[in-house]
Structure 1
Amino acid sequence: MPKILNVRNLEKTYSSGSTKLTVLHNINFDIEEGETFAIVGPSGSGKTTLLGICAGLDRPDTGTVQLCGTYIGTLSEDERAVLRNRNVGFVFQDFQLLPTLTALENVAVPLELQGSKNAIQISKELLEKVGLEDRFHHYPSQLSGGEQQRVAVARAFSNKPSILFADEPTGNLDTETGGRVIDLLFNLNKESGTTLVIVTHDLELAQKAQRTLRLKGGRIVEKSEILF
């Protein structure tokens, strides 16, 4: 299978005054097109930093990231933004919906940025798929946490991404609501053939993925494979 993400010899260090903290040490892994992949580890293990670098939101100090066939380390900020808009979807722990836009408008934003003439119709269909056909015109403040995350999931799939990064997608939800959101995420992922990368400290959630990578102290301590 072709590799959609290739990470080699990744290192990341942050400086605070005279103190330096290396948060990622010699990270190497690949992700194949269409697979589900979980990055797990305790708080402070470097999971979110690694996701940000893989998605082109941040840069490593050393090492390379090849995303969707492109080495992103040499791209400008604008070039990386174009790559993300075309190929990448995001789901965050804190939803990151625009408060002044309705659910429908939030989902339509990535499509409109791409110049889609059918942005509203596609957004309605996606919101229907996540069970929010009666919430089109509600603002985030009028929605529950679970409903906001379902809007975020619909938005993440709106540009038909090649790869979707989910950072602690159930972190702000109760167990039952979080379970429903995860089922939705995996079902939409299977339907669309998107590659799904989930960052989580939840081992039960990680076990739903085909493969897992475990971090501790910024180092890979285990790579496992679950065959279905």
Structure 2
Amino acid sequence: MSDILSVRSLRKTYQSAGKTLTVLQDIDFTFDTGSTNAIIGPSGSGKTTLLGICAGLDRPTSGDVVLAGQELSRLSEDELAALRNRSVGFIFQNFQLMPSLTAVENVMVPLELRKDREARAKAMDLLDRVGLSDRSHHYPIQLSGGEQQRVALARAFSNQPTILFADEPTGNLDAETSDKVVQLLFGLNREVGTTLVLVTHNAELAAQTQRVIRIKGGRLV
């Protein structure tokens, strides 16, 4: 297998009240194309910061990230945005749906950015696969948390991403709803052949992936 994501000597620091705060240091790992992976650790360990850097949403203080064959430090903000639109999917703990758009319109957003003429038909098909075709014209405020996350799941897979980053995707859901979302997540992931990178503090969820990386205090342990 080839590497879809390679992280080398990664370090991230912030300046706070005149002091240097080190959030991540000495992070090295690679993930294989098509693999399922979890990054696990306690709150405040640097998991979400690491995910943002790997996805090109944030830049490290030093070190290299190579994503889908692209060295992120060499890319401009516009080039990073184009790479994310082409190759990356996201699922967030708080869903991040656009409140002024219906379920189907939310799923259509990545497709319309790519000027896909079949955006609505593809979005409806994905909503059907996550069991929400009958809720397609509802707005996020009219949907339960589990339904919103299923819409987010459909949106994440709409552009058939090479790699999917999921940040605590079940963090705001009850146990039964979480199980349904996880089944859909892994099912769609197998179907599309996407590399999955899952950030979670849930050891049971992490155990369902092929590889688990643990972070504590900004370091791999």
TM-score (norm 2): 0.99
> Is 1:89 matched with 2:89?
yes
> Is 1:188 matched with 2:188?
yes
* Aligned twin of 2:219: 219
| 1:63-142 mapped onto 2 (5 Å cutoff) | 63-142=63-142
- The Cα of 1:20 is off from its aligned counterpart by 1.4
- The Cα of 1:68 is off from its aligned counterpart by 0.1
- The Cα of 1:74 is off from its aligned counterpart by 1.5
Moved more, 211-220 or 15-24: 15-24
Equivalent-residue separation in structure 1 for 2:94 and 2:73 (angstroms): 27
* Aligned twin of 2:166: 166
Counterpart amino acid of residue 191 in structure 1: E
Equivalent-residue separation in structure 2 for 1:62 and 1:160 (angstroms): 31
Equivalent-residue separation in structure 2 for 1:145 and 1:71 (angstroms): 36
* Aligned twin of 2:148: 148
Equivalent-residue separation in structure 2 for 1:26 and 1:200 (angstroms): 21
- The Cα of 1:30 is off from its aligned counterpart by 0.2
Counterpart amino acid of residue 50 in structure 1: L
TM-score (norm 1): 0.96
Equivalent-residue separation in structure 1 for 2:19 and 2:94 (angstroms): 30
Cα RMSD (Å) of the superposition?
A: 0.4
Moved more, 10-19 or 104-113: 10-19
1:144-191 CA deviation, whole Å, 9 max, x = no partner?
A: 000000000000000010000000000110111011101100000001
1:107-155 CA deviation, whole Å, 9 max, x = no partner?
A: 0000000010000000000000000010010000000000000000000
- The Cα of 1:65 is off from its aligned counterpart by 0.2
* Aligned twin of 2:200: 200
* Aligned twin of 1:226: none
- The Cα of 1:19 is off from its aligned counterpart by 1.6
Counterpart amino acid of residue 181 in structure 1: V
Counterpart amino acid of residue 218 in structure 1: G
Equivalent-residue separation in structure 1 for 2:67 and 2:13 (angstroms): 22
Counterpart amino acid of residue 141 in structure 2: S
Unaligned runs of 5+ in 1: 222-228
Length, aligned pairs only: 221
- The Cα of 1:208 is off from its aligned counterpart by 0.3
Any idea what SS the aligned residue of 1:134 has?
Answer: helix
Counterpart amino acid of residue 8 in structure 1: R
Equivalent-residue separation in structure 1 for 2:163 and 2:131 (angstroms): 23
Counterpart amino acid of residue 41 in structure 1: G
Structure 1 outlier segments of 4+, above 2 Å: none
Equivalent-residue separation in structure 1 for 2:213 and 2:83 (angstroms): 25
Counterpart amino acid of residue 92 in structure 2: F
The share of aligned pairs that are identical, in percent, is 65
* Aligned twin of 1:19: 19
- The Cα of 1:17 is off from its aligned counterpart by 2.2
Equivalent-residue separation in structure 2 for 1:197 and 1:118 (angstroms): 28
Counterpart amino acid of residue 35 in structure 1: S
> Is 1:50 matched with 2:62?
no
Equivalent-residue separation in structure 1 for 2:138 and 2:165 (angstroms): 26
